[in-house]
Chain A
Amino acid sequence: MAVPGTEAVDLSGAMVLAATPSADWLVVAPVAIPIVFGAVLLMFRHETRIQASVAIIGLIATLACNLLLLLRIMDQGPVVMTMGRWLPPFGISFTADVLGASLALVASLVALVCAFYSTADIGTIGRRYGFYPFLMLMMAGVGGSFLTGDLFNLYVWFEVFLISSFGLLILGSEHRQLDGATKYAILNLIGTTFFLTATALLYGAFGTLNMADIARKADSVREVAPLTTLAMFFLLAFGMKAAAFPVNFWLPASYHTPRIVTAALFGGVLTKVGVYALLRVLVMLLPPERALLSGVIGWVAAATMILGVMGALAQTDIRRALGFVVISSVGIMLAGLALGNGEGLAGTIFYAFHSMIVMAALYLLAGIMNGLGGSYSLRTLSGLYANHPLIAAFALILILASAGLPPASGLWPKVMLVRASLDAGQGWLALAVLATGFFTTLALGRVFILAVWRQRDEAVTAERYSPLLGYVTLGILAVPVLFMGLYPQPVINIAEQAAGGILDASTYIGTVFPEGAQP
């Protein structure tokens, strides 16, 4: 295309001409590494013996990059990198701030621990069907969702992790998996299509999809465009992804059907991506609309947490009970979104860290209980304390964490949320959070009483099962759970910084558009 005269065109007005500093490549590493490893693993799909170790290496690299990225952001503020060197808003920006990077870090930790556990849980057939490639591609989608700075790109990453999650969900093709996966797939696809509709309408109103650009233009567009309708649309779409009442019924229909390690991954990571998207769009992009909708969000939050935990009380299958506990934890996170003040949002973000780790650990715990006791049903599972005291210890820590009791991690975010609700004069929301903690104690405490404390009548000949790997994975996850419970201040600092970053978007905007560069 050597057209005469084109050499003279000055590109400095349209493109980033300076080379990207090599440290800034960290922004794309948490996405690029899982994609590369996923592609490589896909090529060596039949080499089932090396799959797990390659995936674990990839996830360790992802975790390290996420850690470095978060440290860099805490030190120097948000990092931005724009694809194709087109100046934002024309190029797609990857913009990592404290919120996105910290959630990506915890998600990659959960994925790594699940990958450890999967070496025992996923057999040759599961590997041959591509468990590890799906795992890597799902983590690429999750990382991309947390780090992208473009709304349409966020939609694409949602679809990336969604289609990988389909693959993980139906691994094994059992009847119940097909049943659960059908409902999960259809309802989630409708949810993301709603998200795309909202994105289309937002593009019609703003003429841009770059989040920083939307945030700085919102005040001038507000006069002419129905932004509250848009905010409601996003609330519906992301609420569906986050499993908020009344659009949460896909979750209890499907989360107990896959392999337990897949359930742990889903319960730990996926719903939090929906909560993250809600925080990003409603708090950072459309704050006055969020304030207008805060009553609706508050009722949704209270209904989600109370009805979720009520569902957990009614279940005999531990995995199904945990599905409902996931829902009620989403409700607690939405409480901070309803309040919208700094402490409430920090509580939500802290709770998201806690919930990712604890929910994944609870599912893995259920898997180990099944391995040792031979059942997921509370009617038959018993006698674990007498034979395996270590599993009782882990169960106790995780149940305390999930219920929000000391010394585990659930306590402090709930304290922050309750205090924020009382400060905002929303005592009923504080009451809902506390009541949820009480009912969670009942629901999971009953698991402890029946499965761990109850004497076993007859000696069940359990198949040979070595819980060692399970203990190691739970031990890894118990470290952050106890650390966040006993010494919460560093995590509170991160959560407050993350909340400050979305409440006042000027730093975020200033990073994407330095010195008000006007394209």
Chain B
Amino acid sequence: MEPILALTVAIFFSVSIYLMLSKHIIRILLGVSIFGNAVNLTIFTSGRVVREIPPIIPLDLSVPDGITANPLPQALILTAIVISFSFFAFLLVLAFRTYQELGTDDTDGMRVAEPKGEELPPLGY
């Protein structure tokens, strides 16, 4: 199971990095979204995949009896999903506002904060 998941993670990472290399904000955002999912799958895989053995400790024991499924990655992923989803929502609104205000989503054209051809500071009085 792990090799298949590892391959999926690799595909996700390559797709997201390809998208993030784009000049257009909307593609970068799609890349960021896939990037987040790639990381979530990485957490899932690195917690080791065990099927159909629930992590329940028998009453008379204090540790699980043998290998069980690992519940922690799901808690971590849930946190990460919530965070990345809220960030993605914020970034979508921000990108749309920026597009409305600046009239472009091309990062080469977004030079309002750092205008081209600014004057250098004076060399003397």
Contacts and interface: CB of A to CB of B under 8 A. Distances in A.
Interface of A: 5-6, 9-10, 13-14, 152, 156, 159, 163, 166, 170, 173, 175-183, 185-186, 189-190, 193, 196-197, 199-201, 203-205, 252-254, 256-257, 314-317, 320, 378-379, 446, 450, 454-455
Contacts of B29: 186
B120 A182 contact: no
Contact of B113 (A152, A256, A378): A256
The A interface is mostly helix, strand or loop, or mixed, namely helix
Contacts of A317: 118
B102 A316 contact: no
5 contacts: A6-B59, A178-B98, A180-B113, A205-B46, A450-B121
B110 A378 contact: no
Contact of A203 (B47, B79, B95, B120): B47
A98 B91 CA distance: 36
Given A178-B94, A178-B97, A186-B91, A454 B125 contact: yes
B15 interface: no
A183 B20 CA distance: 12
Interface string B65-98: 0000000010010011001101100110011011
A92 B8 CA distance: 31
Contacts of B79: 152, 156
Nearest to B112: A179
A180 B110 CA distance: 9
B39 A181 contact: no
Which interface class (under 10, 10 to 19, 20 to 34, 35 or more) fits B?
A: 35 or more
Given A182-B25, A193-B32, A196-B43, 19 more contacts: A5-B59, A152-B76, A163-B86, A163-B90, A166-B94, A170-B94, A177-B113, A185-B87, A186-B28, A190-B20, A200-B39, A200-B42, A201-B42, A203-B47, A203-B73, A204-B46, A257-B113, A315-B121, A316-B121
Interface string B28-43: 1100100110110011
B45 interface: yes
A152 B90 CA distance: 22
Interface of B: 20, 25, 28-29, 32, 35-36, 38-39, 42-43, 45-48, 59, 62, 73, 76, 79-80, 83-84, 86-87, 90-91, 94-95, 97-98, 101-102, 107, 110-114, 118-122, 125
Contact of B121 (A177, A196, A378): A378
B114 A178 contact: no
Contacts of A177: 113
A16 to B, nearest CB: 16
A203 B110 contact: no
Contacts of B73: 203
A262 to B, nearest CB: 14
B123 to A, nearest CB: 9
Nearest to B111: A179
B112 A176 contact: yes
B69 to A, nearest CB: 14
Nearest to A3: B59
B125 A446 contact: no
Contacts of A315: 121
Given A178-B98, A200-B43, A156 B83 contact: yes
